[in-house]
Amino acid sequence: MKRALPFLTLILLLAGCVQTQATMLADFDLPPVHPDDVVIYLSESDIVGDWEKIAIIHAQGDSQLTRESNMLRKVRERAGEIGANGILIEDIKEPSVGAQIAGEVLGTGSTRRGRMIAIYVTVN
Protein backbone atom coordinates (compact mmCIF):
# COMPACT_ATOMS: atom_id res chain seq x y z
CA MET A 1 0.00 0.00 0.00
CA LYS A 2 2.90 2.37 0.76
CA ARG A 3 4.11 2.03 -2.81
CA ALA A 4 0.66 2.75 -4.25
CA LEU A 5 0.10 5.95 -2.25
CA PRO A 6 2.44 8.20 -4.30
CA PHE A 7 0.95 6.81 -7.52
CA LEU A 8 -2.61 7.48 -6.34
CA THR A 9 -1.64 10.97 -5.23
CA LEU A 10 -0.20 11.67 -8.68
CA ILE A 11 -3.38 10.46 -10.36
CA LEU A 12 -5.51 12.71 -8.15
CA LEU A 13 -3.30 15.71 -8.90
CA LEU A 14 -3.43 15.08 -12.64
CA ALA A 15 -7.19 14.61 -12.52
CA GLY A 16 -7.52 17.98 -10.82
CA CYS A 17 -5.59 19.88 -13.45
CA VAL A 18 -7.24 22.28 -15.81
CA GLN A 19 -7.01 21.15 -19.42
CA THR A 20 -7.02 23.66 -22.27
CA GLN A 21 -7.42 23.28 -26.00
CA ALA A 22 -6.94 26.06 -28.55
CA THR A 23 -8.57 26.07 -31.96
CA MET A 24 -6.73 28.52 -34.18
CA LEU A 25 -8.94 30.78 -36.29
CA ALA A 26 -6.22 31.64 -38.81
CA ASP A 27 -2.54 31.07 -39.47
CA PHE A 28 -0.98 33.61 -37.09
CA ASP A 29 2.75 33.89 -36.47
CA LEU A 30 2.94 35.90 -33.25
CA PRO A 31 5.70 35.81 -30.63
CA PRO A 32 4.76 34.31 -27.26
CA VAL A 33 3.38 36.63 -24.58
CA HIS A 34 4.07 36.19 -20.87
CA PRO A 35 0.87 35.02 -19.10
CA ASP A 36 1.01 38.04 -16.75
CA ASP A 37 0.74 40.30 -19.82
CA VAL A 38 -2.41 38.58 -21.13
CA VAL A 39 -5.35 40.81 -20.18
CA ILE A 40 -8.74 39.31 -19.34
CA TYR A 41 -11.75 41.13 -20.82
CA LEU A 42 -15.33 40.49 -19.73
CA SER A 43 -16.96 42.15 -22.75
CA GLU A 44 -15.99 43.56 -26.14
CA SER A 45 -16.73 47.09 -24.90
CA ASP A 46 -13.87 46.73 -22.37
CA ILE A 47 -11.29 46.34 -25.16
CA VAL A 48 -9.50 49.58 -26.02
CA GLY A 49 -7.94 49.63 -29.48
CA ASP A 50 -8.20 47.45 -32.55
CA TRP A 51 -8.27 43.72 -31.94
CA GLU A 52 -8.35 40.47 -33.83
CA LYS A 53 -9.58 37.02 -32.86
CA ILE A 54 -6.70 34.53 -32.73
CA ALA A 55 -8.23 31.33 -31.34
CA ILE A 56 -11.07 29.77 -29.40
CA ILE A 57 -9.83 28.32 -26.13
CA HIS A 58 -11.81 25.65 -24.31
CA ALA A 59 -10.89 24.86 -20.72
CA GLN A 60 -12.19 22.29 -18.29
CA GLY A 61 -11.35 20.91 -14.88
CA ASP A 62 -12.92 19.06 -11.99
CA SER A 63 -15.02 21.60 -10.08
CA GLN A 64 -14.04 20.17 -6.69
CA LEU A 65 -10.29 20.13 -7.36
CA THR A 66 -9.88 23.38 -9.32
CA ARG A 67 -10.95 26.97 -8.92
CA GLU A 68 -12.10 29.46 -11.51
CA SER A 69 -8.87 31.40 -10.89
CA ASN A 70 -6.86 28.27 -11.80
CA MET A 71 -8.84 27.96 -15.02
CA LEU A 72 -8.18 31.58 -15.96
CA ARG A 73 -4.47 31.21 -15.16
CA LYS A 74 -4.21 28.17 -17.46
CA VAL A 75 -6.12 29.96 -20.22
CA ARG A 76 -3.78 32.97 -19.93
CA GLU A 77 -0.81 30.60 -20.25
CA ARG A 78 -2.30 28.93 -23.33
CA ALA A 79 -3.22 32.27 -24.93
CA GLY A 80 0.29 33.59 -24.32
CA GLU A 81 1.81 30.50 -25.95
CA ILE A 82 0.01 31.30 -29.20
CA GLY A 83 0.85 35.02 -29.05
CA ALA A 84 -2.46 36.43 -27.82
CA ASN A 85 -2.26 39.39 -25.45
CA GLY A 86 -5.89 39.26 -24.39
CA ILE A 87 -8.71 36.89 -23.55
CA LEU A 88 -12.37 37.65 -24.08
CA ILE A 89 -14.44 35.48 -21.75
CA GLU A 90 -17.47 34.07 -23.54
CA ASP A 91 -18.77 31.56 -21.03
CA ILE A 92 -17.82 29.73 -17.84
CA LYS A 93 -20.23 27.01 -16.80
CA GLU A 94 -20.29 25.72 -13.27
CA PRO A 95 -21.90 22.34 -12.66
CA SER A 96 -25.28 22.46 -10.94
CA VAL A 97 -25.57 21.51 -7.28
CA GLY A 98 -27.32 18.31 -8.36
CA ALA A 99 -24.45 17.43 -10.71
CA GLN A 100 -21.92 18.10 -7.95
CA ILE A 101 -23.78 15.89 -5.48
CA ALA A 102 -24.21 13.12 -8.05
CA GLY A 103 -20.52 13.35 -8.92
CA GLU A 104 -19.56 12.97 -5.28
CA VAL A 105 -21.93 10.07 -4.66
CA LEU A 106 -20.91 8.22 -7.83
CA GLY A 107 -17.24 9.16 -7.52
CA THR A 108 -17.16 10.64 -11.01
CA GLY A 109 -16.72 14.30 -10.09
CA SER A 110 -18.25 17.24 -11.91
CA THR A 111 -16.67 19.48 -14.51
CA ARG A 112 -16.29 23.26 -14.72
CA ARG A 113 -16.05 24.36 -18.38
CA GLY A 114 -15.03 27.60 -20.00
CA ARG A 115 -14.96 29.04 -23.50
CA MET A 116 -12.80 32.06 -24.22
CA ILE A 117 -11.56 33.89 -27.28
CA ALA A 118 -7.82 34.57 -27.47
CA ILE A 119 -7.32 37.99 -29.05
CA TYR A 120 -4.50 40.27 -30.14
CA VAL A 121 -5.07 43.91 -29.20
CA THR A 122 -3.28 46.74 -30.99
CA VAL A 123 -3.39 49.98 -29.02
CA ASN A 124 -3.75 53.01 -31.28
The answer to whether the CB of 47 falls within 8 A of the CB of 88 is: yes
- Span between the terminal Cα atoms of the chain, in Å: 62
Total count of residues recorded for the chain: 124
Flag the least confident range among 26-30, 43-47, 107-111, 119-123: 107-111
How do residues 37-52 score in pLDDT, each as one tens digit? 999 999 999 999 999 9
Confidence class for position 69, pLDDT limits 50, 70, 90: confident
Confidence class for position 8, pLDDT limits 50, 70, 90: very low
**What is the chain's mean pLDDT, rounded?**
80
Looking at 1-124, list the stretches that DSSP marks H as alpha helix, in order from N- to C-terminal side: 4-15, 68-81, 97-106
pTM over cut 0.85 = no
